[in-house]
Structure formats: structure tokens, C-alpha cells
């Protein structure tokens, strides 16, 4: 696919890397029409595709583990379907049955006397879930700092809870993060009513110690000369076979030498039509992706941040304009923005402990999926009524059973076996 770039050339009076701030430069923008092709990166695509089912499975694990008896009927699980990210035409019971090493199926009788599937965690999955809780507890301070930094990136130090929900997985927040995390740290966070009548999460106080970006930290550690004149350059790497024309290379080199504006600094003085402003936007998303566990997130999550981050229209164009910093993967029926510098092929260079837990879940899922596809794991399609535990009214309203629809059919067929990584 071909992208047409409108690359701004910036002429700067005085030395490009002086000690002056970006807004003190007199900038003149002219448009250069450059033709570049999008180059597929198979390694980064594999890193994205490998999580296709992982998020939904881990969310279900958290939901089931929070149940009083560690077991939930299908119609109770259906109430959480919106948070799983599964295709609408994909049955939840079919998805769960794909991974018998994670979920064990039994059957119960609902209040209407109908036999319905009920799912609990296998001992191995429950042990791994408890390991995840330990990891979260051990890294609580680091998690709180990252959440504080996320809110500090916004103009009002506030994000709608809906937006936080969308970033929850990428940030490594617990599934029930408000009850298990926010409510225990009301000295840091508060809930506020937003102008559009939504509920927002607000950081109570600014923390200067946190207001330093990862790019600045790396420059300090490496004692870069650029740190003195505030002309920090971003790490750049391209997919093999990516061709960059001379005029693009010259523009990129000049752009890298422009003043760097911290994403935590006030940028209201910057002219949004200039490359200096664009570098600030790139730096903002460079920092935001560094705040995530696996240094990537869906593009739509970033698009929803335009107003909280006070960004101009079409700001996500920077992802296509800077393919050496960001890679856009189109796997899993969505667009995912990946921070290139964080990966060596498809492996994270610096793994968060929670990423290791997720990898263990993925390995467990893969084993169960392959065993099932080879016929090594059999699931009972019906239950002996004498062996069924009648939960009666404890399982909830009969209306919930109606909502479950065909997902409560014990005799439903499995979908045809497809590749673990991509069933779209």
C-alpha cells in the first residue's frame, strides 16, 4: 500500500540545536510531496497476532476467579462479553471450549430447570492467576507511577473512566482495577464528573519526580550531548526492505535535530503546523507507549485521547509519517501501533514481569488448543442429570438464561479448528 506523505521542511533562524526552546524558533513550513510504500514487518505482526485470544482469556480468568465458588454459568459470563473484545458472531462458549487447559466445563440446572454449561478454572490456570496477583502486588508502586504518569500527560490530569478501561489491558491494570486499586489509593486519585456527564479519573496532585520522559531518562543514562541543548533524537529502525529516498532522509535528519519538548511540559505555545510541534506529538506517543506493558496499543485507543491530550485533528498521521519509530500492524482486524525500539524481531527487549505471566498463559492456551484439535482433550457434550448440581435460584434470573440464547446449548458444535493465532 502506498502512503503519500506531506513532509514539512522547517527552516530555523540561528543554530538548529541551540539552547532556546522550540517556540522561540521562527519556523516556515513548506510541503514536500513524497511517495513511500508501507512495508510489512512479519516479526511485529506475529507479536500482535500472538495476543489475539490472550486478552479475552485472561479477562475471563479474572472474572471466574472473582466468583464466590470459582465457577460461573455461561449466562453470567455473557454479561461481561463487551469487555472481552470477541467478534459479535463468535459464540462465547465456543471460545471457552477452545482452551480446556484453562477452563473446565461442568453443567448446572438453572432456576427454570434447564441444564446449562458452567465454567471453572483448571488448577494450573488458578495457580497462574495467583502468580499474577503476586506480580501485581510486588510491582504495585511501579504500576501506580505509570498510571499517574498517564494522567499527567493530559491537560487536566484527568481521563474518562471509559478511556482508562480501553487502556486497562495495555497498562497492566487489574480487571477490577477500580475496586482493587483506585479505591485503595484515594490519596492519589479521585472520581470527577466531566462536562459531558461522564465519570473521569483525576490525579490529585502533580509529581515533579515523575515528570521525566523515557527518552530523557535514556539520554541521562547515556550522558548524551544532546541532553544539554535539548535536541534529543528518537531511536530509529526500519523494516528490512524499507526504501527511504534522499529527500526523506534529509528531512528526517533535520527533524531529529529539532528541539525536543517534553510530553509533560505545557505545549500550548507551539504552532501545530510546524515540525517542532509534530516532534512533540511523536514524543508524547513515544512516552505513552513506554507506559504500556508490551509497548503497543490499538490505534483507536490513541484516537480517543485527542481531546484529553489537546491534540490537533488528524494527529494520528504521525504514525505513518514516522515508520522508523512506530509500526502499524493490521493483524486481528484492527490497527495496532507498536513502538519499534522496544522489540528485537517479535521479542520484547525489556520484559515486564506481568508480560512473563501472560506468556505462560499463552503457552497454556496453545497447548490446550493443539491437544483439542488433535482429539487428545475430550469435552463431555451432555451431563447425567443425577450428577448435575441444582443451583436453583442462586444462579440468577431466568431472563439471563434467555439472554444467553444458543450459548447455553449443551449440544452446540465446535467451530472448525483454525490457526491458534488468527481465526479471523
Task: Give dist(CA 337, CA 329) in Å, integer.
Answer: 7
Sheet (strand 115-121) strand order: 71-73, 115-121, 103-109, 389-390
117: nearest Cα among 415, 420, 409, 328:
409
Say if residue 397's pLDDT is above 80: no
Same domain, 189 and 256: no
Task: State how far the alpha carbon of 218 is from the alpha carbons of 16, 19, 33, 223, in Å.
Answer: 22, 20, 34, 8
For residue 30, tell me if it sits in a domain: no
Same domain, 77 and 96: yes
Indicate the residue among 328, 348, 368 that finishes a domain: 348
Say if residue 359's pLDDT is above 90: yes
Mean pLDDT value across the chain: 81
Indicate the residue among 299, 330, 348 that finishes a domain: 348
pLDDT in tens, 272-285: 888 899 999 999 99
Per DSSP, the residues of 20-34 read S-GGGS-EEEEEEEE
Q: Read off the pLDDT band of 159 (50, 70, 90).
A: very high
Q: What is the pLDDT of residue 412?
A: 33
Domain count, the chain: 3
C-alpha cell at 26: 521562527
318: nearest Cα among 330, 306, 326, 310:
326
Whether 261 contacts 279, CB under 8 Å: yes
Same domain, 93 and 175: no
For residue 303, tell me if it sits in a domain: yes
271: nearest Cα among 13, 42, 77, 28:
28
Task: Give dist(CA 78, CA 90) in Å, integer.
Answer: 12
Say if residue 83's pLDDT is above 80: yes
Same domain, 160 and 230: no
C-alpha cell at 145: 507511577
pLDDT in tens, 4-28: 333 333 333 333 344 344 444 444 4
Whether 278 contacts 252, CB under 8 Å: no
> At 109, phi and psi to the nearest 5?
-105, 125
Q: What is the pLDDT of residue 375?
A: 66
Same domain, 342 and 274: yes
For residue 122, tell me if it sits in a domain: yes
Task: State how far the alpha carbon of 201 is from the alpha carbons of 47, 160, 179, 289, 307, in Å.
Answer: 31, 6, 13, 20, 15
Same domain, 224 and 341: yes
Task: Give dist(CA 309, CA 181) in Å, integer.
Answer: 24
Which DSSP letter does residue 392 get?
A: G
Same domain, 219 and 312: yes
How many CB atoms sit inside 10 A of residue 152's CB?
17
Same domain, 68 and 102: yes
Q: What is the pLDDT of residue 82?
A: 86
Q: Read off the pLDDT band of 226 (50, 70, 90).
A: low
Whether 192 contacts 202, CB under 8 Å: yes
Stretch among 22-36, 172-186, 406-420 having the lowest mean pLDDT: 406-420
Say if residue 400's pLDDT is above 80: no
Range of the domain at 106: 47-128+358-408
Same domain, 227 and 337: yes
For residue 7, tell me if it sits in a domain: no
308: nearest Cα among 179, 171, 192:
192
Same domain, 104 and 58: yes
For residue 12, tell me if it sits in a domain: no
C-alpha cell at 122: 483448571
Helix, strand or coil for residue 4? Answer: strand
76, containing H or E segment: helix 74-77
Whether 243 contacts 3, CB under 8 Å: no
CATH of the domain at 365: 1.10.10
Q: Which residue has the cell 533535520?
A: 254
Same domain, 338 and 227: yes
For residue 100, tell me if it sits in a domain: yes
Same domain, 174 and 76: no
For residue 171, tell me if it sits in a domain: yes
For residue 14, tell me if it sits in a domain: no
Amino acid at each position: 500500500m502506498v502512503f503519500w506523505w506531506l513532509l514539512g521542511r522547517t527552516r530555523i533562524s540561528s543554530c538548529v540545536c541551540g539552547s532556546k526552546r522550540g517556540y522561540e524558533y521562527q519556523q516556515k513550513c513548506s510541503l514536500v510531496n513524497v511517495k513511500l510504500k508501507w512495508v510489512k514487518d512479519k516479526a511485529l505482526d506475529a507479536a500482535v497476532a500472538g495476543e489475539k485470544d490472550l486478552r479475552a482469556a485472561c479477562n475471563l480468568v479474572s472474572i471466574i476467579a472473582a466468583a464466590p465458588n470459582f465457577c460461573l454459568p455461561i449466562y453470567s459470563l455473557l454479561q461481561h462479553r463487551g469487555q472481552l473484545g470477541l467478534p459479535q458472531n463468535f459464540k462465547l462458549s465456543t471460545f471457552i471450549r477452545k482452551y480446556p487447559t484453562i477452563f473446565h466445563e461442568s453443567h448446572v440446572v438453572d432456576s427454570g430447570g434447564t441444564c446449562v454449561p458452567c465454567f471453572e478454572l483448571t488448577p494450573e490456570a488458578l495457580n497462574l492467576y495467583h502468580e499474577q496477583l503476586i506480580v501485581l502486588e510486588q510491582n504495585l508502586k511501579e504500576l501506580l507511577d505509570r498510571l499517574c504518569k498517564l494522567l499527567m500527560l493530559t491537560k487536566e490530569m484527568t481521563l474518562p473512566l471509559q478511556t482508562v478501561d480501553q487502556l486497562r489491558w495495555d497498562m497492566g491494570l487489574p480487571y477490577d482495577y477500580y475496586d482493587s486499586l483506585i479505591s485503595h489509593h484515594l490519596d492519589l486519585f479521585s472520581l470527577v464528573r466531566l462536562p459531558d456527564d461522564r465519570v473521569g479519573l483525576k490525579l490529585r496532585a502533580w509529581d515533579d519526580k515523575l515528570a521525566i520522559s523515557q527518552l530523557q531518562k535514556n539520554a541521562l543514562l547515556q550522558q548524551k550531548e544532546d541532553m544539554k541543548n535539548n535536541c534529543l533524537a528518537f531511536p530509529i529502525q526500519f523494516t528490512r526492505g524499507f526504501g527511504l529516498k534522499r529527500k526523506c532522509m534529509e528531512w528526517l535528519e533535520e527533524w531529529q535535530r529539532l528541539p525536543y519538548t517534553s510530553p509533560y511540559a505545557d505545549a500550548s505555545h507551539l504552532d501545530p503546523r510546524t515540525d517542532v510541534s509534530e516532534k512533540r506529538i511523536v514524543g508524547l506517543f513515544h512516552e505513552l507507549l513506554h507506559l504500556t506493558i508490551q509497548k503497543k496499543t490499538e490505534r483507536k485507543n490513541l484516537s480517543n485521547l485527542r481531546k484529553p491530550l489537546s491534540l490537533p485533528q488528524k494527529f494520528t498521521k504521525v504514525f505513518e509519517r514516522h515508520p522508523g519509530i512506530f509500526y502499524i500492524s493490521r493483524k486481528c482486524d484492527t490497527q495496532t501501533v507498536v513502538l519499534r525500539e522496544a522489540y528485537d524481531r517479535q521479542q520484547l527487549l525489556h520484559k515486564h514481569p506481568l508480560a512473563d505471566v501472560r506468556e505462560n498463559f499463552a503457552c497454556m492456551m496453545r497447548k490446550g488448543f493443539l491437544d483439542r484439535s488433535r482429539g487428545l482433550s475430550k469435552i463431555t457434550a451432555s451431563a447425567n442429570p443425577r450428577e448435575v448440581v441444582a443451583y436453583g435460584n442462586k444462579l440468577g434470573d431466568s431472563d439471563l438464561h434467555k439472554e444467553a440464547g444458543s450459548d447455553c446449548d449443551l449440544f452446540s458444535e465446535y467451530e472448525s479448528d483454525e490457526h491458534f493465532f488468527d481465526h479471523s
